[in-house]
Structure 1
Amino acid sequence: MTDEILDEGPVEGVDVAETEVSEEAPEDASEDAPEDAPAAEDDRSGWGEIEVDGEVYLTPPALKSAFLRQADYTRKTQELAEQRRRMEAEREAAGAHVAARARLHLLDEQALALEGLDWPALEAADPERARALAERRQALSETRERAAFDLARREHETRMANEAAEAEAVMATGRALSEQIEGWSPALAADLADYARSFGVEADELRQINDARLWRILHRAHLGETLARRLAEADRRAARPAVRPAADPGRPGGGAPGLDDRMETAEWMRRRNAGGLRERRRPRP
């Protein structure tokens, strides 16, 4: 029965062509789909890239702006925390230094008080007390020596740490300026230092400038003044009259006598008189 149905001709009322078109419709739909793709890509024309943990992501402008604000806030928060930690460490170090100085001063006062005793009279009157005070004086001397050595060592370590931090700050500033200023070099830094000293800035003050922004401002000022000086010199050269060699009438191709209103008066008169004299001496036909 099934074979008979399949072998029968076209079903009445059904157009075969329409059936074939409807079967091909999905292919047409699939062909039209790529035409909408550029529109979707165009919607991302204003998108930007952000980097998170080494991975780069494509984000819309609003999300990128929010991410950058958050990143800037995080960076500033970390910088503030680091600044507070550094200030706290410096405060503790300063307090320890003051305490060590005070202890050393107290030991000096105690040793000075013992040195002021009348030791011969004390030994004669009370030998036991004199011996105890002598031991006390010796202990104070040893304690004072250790305290002075420890204080000197800490001061040396602090000085070396400060110098290392300053050197690192200078190197970091140099690296930043080499990226921000074209042609940055030690020679350019020396020129900027000379330029700053011309305004009364001391060398110690320059060494304390570790902010790349301040060096960029100094560079802009130096560059602007240098450019203004060169332009002024070019204007002076342009306004200066150019002295051209006078044409020789006797030379073939020579033009009029070598007189020029831009010449000095004496030179102009000398050439004019010399030309008139040659005209009078020329034989007449």
Structure 2
Amino acid sequence: MDTNQESGVSLDDVSELLDEAPEQVEEGEVAEAEELPEEGEQSEATEEDDGELVEIEGKAYRVPKELKGMVLMHKDYTQKTQEVADQRRAVEERAHALEQREQVLGASFEKAVEFRQVQDRLAQFEALDWNALVDADPAQAQKLTIAYQQLQREAQTKFSELQQTQAQAQHLTEQQRQQMLTEAQQDLHARLPGFGPQTAQQIRKAAEEHYGIKPEELNGLVDARHVHILHDAMKWRELQAKQPQAMRKVAEAAPAIKPQAAPQKPRTNQAAFDRLKKNGRVEDLAALL
């Protein structure tokens, strides 16, 4: 065994150290080590664990407990503000449509008045005795004939304009009606989530049988509140019809079996028991029994 005189370490000692040396980490491998959280990370993790989830526009966010109320309040305020804005926009659109429709109806009325005036003037020309006029004054008759023909063309023009305004007014009326039906349908589905063709048919049948409302009258409904009332009335009648059946089932049900009272335990004569325990005589046992 060779020994280094200066250090006093032998070769055997060096070989043992080499055997116990840790393996080198190859390139690309990561040594496993438990990393201690840096200062501030632990407090952030604790605050994150203490937070609560809040859903906003379909996404979940973790916020501190102290701010949850404020976040929910802001969310509710935002939703109500959006609802008010939607309602205001709908009212403005409806008001604009009504104003436009009123303008078209006013123009249609004016065209109808103009056409009526032309018709009255044509009636005056048609009341003339044209044969006598030609015999008396052929030149005047020729002038009146030209004026009559011009008035006929004017009447045709006024009638075409009247038809256009009437068609435009009818189109706006139908467009407004469709818009009202769409809004009413949305409101109806919000009031009655399960509303569908089958429910509508049931409401029609109940309304006609119990209230005498005709199908053509139901077709004119554009207010979801009226349909909601008819639906509730139908459901109320169904419950009233089922009530006698439920009462009959209760009456026909077998009476419940009353539980029997538990048998009372015989009371023990403590004095007789004490005498039997003390003396052990047959007489004491007979007295106890």
Query: What's the TM-score, normalizing by structure 2?
Result: 0.60
Aligned position for 2:240: 228
1:76 deviation in Å?
2.3
CA distance in 2, matches of 1:30, 1:201: 72
> Does residue 212 of the first structure (1) align with residue 212 of the second (2)?
no
Counterparts in 2 of 1:158 and 1:48: CA distance versus 1, 3 Å: same
Report if aligned partners of 2:101, 2:169 keep a CA contact under 8 Å in 1: no
Query: More deviation in 136-145 or 93-102?
Result: 136-145
Aligned position for 1:152: 163
Given candidates 119, 135, 159, the residue that maps to 2:130 is 119
1:158 deviation in Å?
3.9
1:164 deviation in Å?
5.5
Aligned position for 1:139: 150
Q: Which runs of 5+ in 2 are unaligned?
A: 1-35, 62-69, 255-289
Letter in 2 for 1:226: E
CA distance in 1, matches of 2:184, 2:88: 21
- Percent identical among aligned pairs is 20
Given candidates 175, 182, 188, the residue that maps to 2:199 is 188
1:82 deviation in Å?
0.8
Greater C-alpha radius of gyration: 2
Report if aligned partners of 2:118, 2:151 keep a CA contact under 8 Å in 1: yes
Letter in 1 for 2:137: D
Query: More deviation in 79-88 or 166-175?
Result: 166-175
CA distance in 2, matches of 1:31, 1:157: 72
Q: Which runs of 5+ in 1 are unaligned?
A: 1-24, 243-285
1:184 deviation in Å?
2.9
Aligned position for 1:95: 106
CA distance in 1, matches of 2:71, 2:196: 40
Q: In the TM superposition, what whole-angstrom CA distance separates every residue of 1:159-207 from its partner, at most 9, and x where no partner exists?
A: 3554465456546644664565354332321221233333243444422
1:88 deviation in Å?
0.6
Determine helix, strand or coil for the equivalent of 2:56: strand
CA distance in 1, matches of 2:106, 2:234: 43
Aligned position for 1:255: none
Counterparts in 2 of 1:240 and 1:119: CA distance versus 1, 3 Å: farther
Report if aligned partners of 1:48, 1:60 keep a CA contact under 8 Å in 2: no
Counterparts in 2 of 1:63 and 1:162: CA distance versus 1, 3 Å: same
1:136 deviation in Å?
1.2
CA root-mean-square deviation? 3.5
Determine helix, strand or coil for the equivalent of 1:201: coil
Give the aligned length.
211
